[in-house]
């Protein structure tokens, strides 16, 4: 039995549509975070910010623990974009990254992180203070 080309094209289109993932419908927003960090060998960070998503503003809290070669204290103001989210709660989660950095006085920072829900933070900004680190850092973000 021969299948007509129109029917075959329709079946191919149906299979293609069924295979589209929900990630294709993911959205993005903007994020501003202010993080205060300090420590000696073991350090901590805390702060907050805002998420602008689909015309609404949501408050964020951030905090984490650093370990390794850590000393000093700093304030970092980061701005950027969060992508691959479907709702504001997708931003909440634990972001981990291996990193190394040094800032004396004013220093530029840029970072890309992903959480367990697949949200991708692309942030850049300025760091003020004396902070040297070669550590594994974890940053937890929650909605207020």
Sheet bearing 120-143, strands edge to edge: 27-53, 56-85, 120-143, 93-114
Where residue 13 falls among pLDDT bands split at 50, 70, 90?
Answer: very low
pLDDT tens-digit map of 90-104: 999 998 664 444 444
Predicted pLDDT of residue 4: 53
Q: 23-143: which CATH architecture?
A: Beta Barrel (2.40)
Domain ranges of the chain: 23-143
- Kind of pairing between the strands at 27-53 and 120-143: unpaired
């Amino acid at each position: 039995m021969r299948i007509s080309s129109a029917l075959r094209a329709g079946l191919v289109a149906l299979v293609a549509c069924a295979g589209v993932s929900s990630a294709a419908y993911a959205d993005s927003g903007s994020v501003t975070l202010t993080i205060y960090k300090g420590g000696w060998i073991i350090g901590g960070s805390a702060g907050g910010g805002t998420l602008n998503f689909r015309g609404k503003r949501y408050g964020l809290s951030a905090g984490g623990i650093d370990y390794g070669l850590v000393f000093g204290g700093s304030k970092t103001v980061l701005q950027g974009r969060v992508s691959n989210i479907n709702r504001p709660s997708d931003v909440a989660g634990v972001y981990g990254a291996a990193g190394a950095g040094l800032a004396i006085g004013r220093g530029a920072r840029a970072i890309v992180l992903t959480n367990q829900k697949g949200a991708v933070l692309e942030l850049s900004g300025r760091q003020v203070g004396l902070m040297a680190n070669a550590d594994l850092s974890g940053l937890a973000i929650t909605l207020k």
